[in-house]
Chain A
Amino acid sequence: MTTLDNSRAHDFGGHGHHEGSYLTPKGGFFTTVWDWATTVDHKKIGVMYLVAVLFMFFLGGLAALAVRTELLDPVRTVMVQAVDAQGKPLLDADGKPVMKTEIVGQTLARWIPPKGGEITSIDYGNQLYNRAFTLHGAIMVFMVIIPSIPASLGNFFIPLMLGAKDVAFPRLNLLSWYIYVTGSIFAVSSILLGGVDTGWTFYTPYSTTTDAEHANVVLMVLGAFILGFSSILTGLNFVVTVHKLRAPGMGWFDMPLFIWAMYSTSIIQVLATPVIGITLLLLVFERMFKIGIFDPSLGGDPVLYQHFFWFYSHPVVYVMILPAFGVISEIIPVHSHKKIFGYRAVAFASLGVALVSFLVWGHHMFASSGELGATVFSALTFLVAIPTAVKVFNWIATLYKGSIALTTPMLYALMFLFLFSIGGLTGLPLGALATDLHLHDSYFVVAHFHYVMMGGTIITFVAGLHHWWPKMFGKMYNQFWANVGAWTVFVGFNLTFFTQFFLGTQGMPRRYASYVSEYQTLHIWSTVGSYVLLLGFLIHLFVFIHSLVAGRKAPANPWGGLTLEWEAESPPIEHNFAHEPIVTHGPYDYETTVPPHWSAKDYPLPHLPANAH
């Protein structure tokens, strides 16, 4: 640990005010590329993660749109124009084209020829659909949501918020990024080679016996396995950083709540990810060498796989949502200039959620487990609701008597409260045993976890990006168009997923390429919503590009935040701070502190009552 202390003592200060922004190119094009590729600067690594994650989000989004488009129509057969052997349209006696029914797979086969050229049965259309939803799930979970906030915003802002120069292990940090890219390349090559149709959960025995190409399944599973290491190393790095690199004067309860959330997240990542690593490796061995761990025809137990899988994948739900809680806990105080209500309750709720998250994996298996297990897991599941609800109450209470500015990040934070409340409350009928036996594996579940994962994590990721964008790139963006984008996303999101609650209660199962036509109306609304969602994200993309090209220069502290990253320049200099910051106020003491870079004239302090602490 001495090296860490030394680095703090020597590197701050000295060459302070002459240092340029971390974005300043180091020379010509190739020098700059080499500089980025070999950088150990947490800010550059954060930006590289951001670019990689957004690219994967684009791929996963394309798969989602393919899925939604396929579901516009329930039919298993389509009417097409009949042709003769020469490919000319057949005409009847009146000169009208002759129509005939054919299976969707035959139609698709004309556009996208199947490998091997033989299958034109119903299977072919379904196979494409099954691959699309598997890719969507696997990419969004393993390559987008899990690394989104921790790896990009976390990497960039944890050291800044702690007043540190970098994370504890900068080289390990760069390694995690390369591991992430390697894992993603495995997964993407599996797609390019024809894709897999196992679902992102890789349930056995289907995943060990599917006729999707052997190598693809192994590639995809290995991809997820490799990504796990990126997750573990990043988590480990953050835990050590939080323990060892806090600025002088910053005790545990002086840390911003984003740090608390990232700390809880990192603990889950370090503890739970090895389990999925082992499980996925067992799956690869099972698939390649037919060992008989999960395959019942060899004496294995397929439900064992589900236990292993969810023992990781449930805590990972909190790896996805806890960072979002952290971002919201930053945005709401900053944009309402109000001390967060119940700081300790929010901090401990993060840890409480992290702890209970390890005890609820069985609620994914109510329809497959015995009565006793199901009952215990149902009870434990309701326990998670309490710390989560406490957080929502605290955020809303923070708004009371605030000074609320409806900036884009704040607008998104309020939308998060709306969407996440729906996501959380619709978890109740899934946690209750009787209703879950009906709703399990239906569109109700699909809607529920999209409200939590997308309405929670992705919306917050976009909120955080807008909150910290001026700090990261030193440019402001057009607030009006960003707000238009936010409202478009909000409308599109609700249209896409609220309809799916009704589909679920009415009996529409998940992962269906075709369905009975009674569900069509709701499916059409849902698909239209997904296009609106696409439009919203495109607006954001253009706003960001416009900001980078023509945005006005961002001040160091545009929103009046009190946490340490706002003391740094926008964009920060290479070593973050010209002088090592010393913490003299709490992260949310808006009633007693003028924000850094602001004057007392811009920020009049309120009159404090005599009994205020």
Chain B
Amino acid sequence: MLKTLTNNWTATLAESPQGWWAPGWRWFFQNFGVNENAKLTDQLYMEIFWISVGWFVFLMAIMLICVVKYRRRPGVPAPYSPSHNTVLELVWTIIPCFFLFYIFLQGFHVYVDKLVAPGDSLQMTLTAKKWDWTITYPNGAASPERTLIGADSTQFGGENGSPGSRPIPIFYMPGDVPIHFNMISQDVMHSFWVPDFRVKFDVFPNRYTTYWFQAKLQGAETNTLRDSTGKDVVTAQGEKVPYIDHFIFCAEYCGDQHSEMLGIIRVVPMAYYLAKTEEWNIEGKTPAEIGKLVYQSQGCSACHTLDGSKGAAPTWKDLYMSQQPTNAGSVVADDNYIRESIYTPQAKIVDGYPSNMPVYTTAQIDERRLQGLFAFMRSISKYAPAEAAPTTAAPATPETEKK
């Protein structure tokens, strides 16, 4: 399944680049016109490219002509020629300065557009940790949806996909409106990069950085949403949902699963975005449902499995109220122990696992969500006291949920 250089693998070519710089654009980029800043970046890149090609061909041509024309002939000395010419040397010092100044100015101009978000942007919070992203929507909800990289239910699926071993999060974002992230890391440095938006910015553990984008949906070439069984997703009004996926890559080396720290920005119509975030809102849900949403949206699922298989951290199946061997002796995994493991994870490490658990704050997982986690873990543990089991054996699964 080899892909050609020009394979349009994200299939979001909304429009074609226009201008003297446009030829050859296809060699370097996969899509155009995701937003205004991406267009300007491509234009600047291609301008620099053609300026460079001009200089390069000019210099190499002179070099090759000299090598051929002035090749050594036995017994023939190199003819005299001046080895210094002030005017020539000044000219070739000054002319590149104009090119460099132009490139600097253009770079600065688009950079400012990339950094300064419009005042009416939707405000969201992005947290990064080894090795997962979480985005908190304005209503406090977070996306619990995940997919395997290359799964058929994403735009990158089917022929184009390679199966991943670990699910990556999908973040629904409304199209055609500016969105602004406040970004913070829970452990080491990460870097939030959406190649389609042509912007990345580092995420630090000790100060906030920001990121903004606006993704085009109207007038773009789109697919329509399907669930994991391949059936069309329809809204309450019976309409199909157009969407475009953009990959998120972590671009600052952060350890073992750096290359698995992916995500998908899924651009959908505003109405669908509002419906999804409302669905994930914890208001009106049972504690176990809240717990499951937290498990899916806060990245717990990256390391803790639910089916008893061994991940990078202990499985949650039959964990609640079980005996766990730790470096501080055997403990019972009760509410207090679980609470401690979330807020001060280094306190006790279960034998056989690295101390990889990131620190959560009470702002990220508040008391209500924490109680939800207890309820959720209780529902999947055989050690849980019978009377504490919820009346509905398993929490209700949201309609669009995937595995």
Verify if B347 is at the interface (C-beta below 8 Å from A).
no
Contacts A518-B3, A522-B5: A591 and B80 contacting too (C-beta < 8 A)?
yes
A302:B76 contact, CB within 8 angstroms: no
A429:B48 contact, CB within 8 angstroms: yes
Complex: how many Å from CA A330 to CA B354? Answer: 55
Complex: how many Å from CA A343 to CA B83? Answer: 8
Verify if B375 is at the interface (C-beta below 8 Å from A).
no
B193:A435 contact, CB within 8 angstroms: no
Set of chain A residues within 8 Å of B253, measured between Cβ atoms:
130, 199, 203, 206, 510-511
Complex: how many Å from CA A437 to CA B38? Answer: 11
Complex: how many Å from CA A606 to CA B250? Answer: 62
Complex: how many Å from CA A608 to CA B108? Answer: 52
A435:B97 contact, CB within 8 angstroms: no
Name the distance in Å between A399's Cβ and chain B's nearest Cβ.
4
Complex: how many Å from CA A428 to CA B51? Answer: 10
Verify if A340 is at the interface (C-beta below 8 Å from B).
yes
Complex: how many Å from CA A112 to CA B312? Answer: 20
Who on chain B is nearest to A121 by CB? Answer: B312
Contacts A76-B260, A122-B260, A590-B78: A440 and B66 contacting too (C-beta < 8 A)?
no
The one of B2, B40, B83, B92 that contacts A339, using a Cβ cutoff of 8 Å: B83
Name the distance in Å between A483's Cβ and chain B's nearest Cβ.
14
The one of B59, B311, B352 that contacts A396, using a Cβ cutoff of 8 Å: B59
Verify if B1 is at the interface (C-beta below 8 Å from A).
yes
Who on chain A is nearest to B164 by CB? Answer: A76
B256:A402 contact, CB within 8 angstroms: no
B259:A502 contact, CB within 8 angstroms: no
Who on chain A is nearest to B201 by CB? Answer: A367
Complex: how many Å from CA A583 to CA B45? Answer: 51
Who on chain B is nearest to A375 by CB? Answer: B108
Set of chain B residues within 8 Å of A375, measured between Cβ atoms:
108, 111
A303:B107 contact, CB within 8 angstroms: no
Verify if A84 is at the interface (C-beta below 8 Å from B).
no
Complex: how many Å from CA A560 to CA B46? Answer: 45
Set of chain B residues within 8 Å of A517, measured between Cβ atoms:
1, 3, 150, 160-162
Verify if A210 is at the interface (C-beta below 8 Å from B).
yes
Set of chain B residues within 8 Å of A435, measured between Cβ atoms:
41, 44-45, 48, 107, 198
Set of chain A residues within 8 Å of B200, measured between Cβ atoms:
367, 437-438, 440-441
Count how many chain A residues have C-beta atoms less than 8 Å from C-beta atoms of the other chain.
112
Name the distance in Å between B153's Cβ and chain A's nearest Cβ.
15
Verify if A59 is at the interface (C-beta below 8 Å from B).
no
Complex: how many Å from CA A206 to CA B190? Answer: 10
Verify if A286 is at the interface (C-beta below 8 Å from B).
no
Interface flags for B1-32 (1: CB within 8 Å of A; 0: not) read 11111010100000000000000000111100
Set of chain B residues within 8 Å of A374, measured between Cβ atoms:
111
B204:A296 contact, CB within 8 angstroms: yes
Who on chain B is nearest to A349 by CB? Answer: B93
Interface flags for A285-305 (1: CB within 8 Å of B; 0: not) read 000000000001100011100
B199:A437 contact, CB within 8 angstroms: yes
Verify if A39 is at the interface (C-beta below 8 Å from B).
no
Residue among A368, A385, A434, A511 with the most chain B CB within 10 A? A434
Set of chain A residues within 8 Å of B355, measured between Cβ atoms:
211
Verify if B110 is at the interface (C-beta below 8 Å from A).
yes
Verify if A189 is at the interface (C-beta below 8 Å from B).
no
Verify if A69 is at the interface (C-beta below 8 Å from B).
no
Q: Which segment of B67-75, B118-126, B137-145, B391-399 sits at the interface? A: B67-75
Verify if A494 is at the interface (C-beta below 8 Å from B).
no
B52:A426 contact, CB within 8 angstroms: yes
The one of B60, B78, B162 that contacts A421, using a Cβ cutoff of 8 Å: B60
A433:B100 contact, CB within 8 angstroms: no
B160:A518 contact, CB within 8 angstroms: yes
Verify if A403 is at the interface (C-beta below 8 Å from B).
yes
Who on chain B is nearest to A333 by CB? Answer: B83
Contacts A122-B166, A211-B356, A591-B80: A206 and B188 contacting too (C-beta < 8 A)?
yes
Complex: how many Å from CA A367 to CA B104? Answer: 16
The one of A127, A203, A302 that contacts B206, using a Cβ cutoff of 8 Å: A302
Complex: how many Å from CA A363 to CA B7? Answer: 33
Verify if B189 is at the interface (C-beta below 8 Å from A).
yes
Name the distance in Å between A69's Cβ and chain B's nearest Cβ.
16
A607:B80 contact, CB within 8 angstroms: yes
Name the distance in Å between B265's Cβ and chain A's nearest Cβ.
13
Q: Which of B71-112 contact A (CB under 8 A)?
A: 71-73, 75-85, 88-89, 92-93, 96-97, 100-101, 103-104, 106-112
Complex: how many Å from CA A369 to CA B195? Answer: 20
Name the distance in Å between B165's Cβ and chain A's nearest Cβ.
4
Q: Which of A119-133 contact B (CB under 8 A)?
A: 121-123, 126-127, 130
Complex: how many Å from CA A471 to CA B260? Answer: 52
Set of chain B residues within 8 Å of A397, measured between Cβ atoms:
88
Contacts A122-B166, A517-B161: A206 and B189 contacting too (C-beta < 8 A)?
yes
Q: Which 9 A-B pairs have the closest CB atoms?
A: A507-B195, A432-B107, A434-B110, A433-B111, A296-B206, A517-B162, A512-B259, A399-B66, A425-B52
Residues of A within 8 A of B (CB): 74-77, 101, 103, 118, 121-123, 126-127, 130, 197, 199, 203, 205-206, 209-211, 296-297, 301-303, 336-345, 367-368, 371, 374-375, 378-379, 382, 385-386, 389-390, 392-393, 396-406, 414, 417-418, 421-422, 425-426, 428-429, 431-438, 440-442, 501-502, 505-507, 509-522, 524, 588, 590-591, 603-609, 612
25 contacts between A and B (CB under 8 A): A76-B163, A197-B255, A211-B356, A337-B78, A367-B191, A382-B100, A386-B93, A386-B96, A396-B59, A401-B80, A403-B76, A404-B70, A414-B67, A428-B51, A431-B104, A433-B110, A435-B41, A437-B111, A437-B199, A438-B41, A505-B29, A509-B259, A511-B259, A514-B260, A516-B262
Known: A76-B162, A211-B354, A302-B206. 14 other contacts (CB 8 A): A76-B166, A118-B352, A386-B97, A403-B70, A403-B71, A414-B63, A438-B198, A441-B251, A506-B28, A506-B29, A511-B253, A514-B259, A517-B1, A606-B79
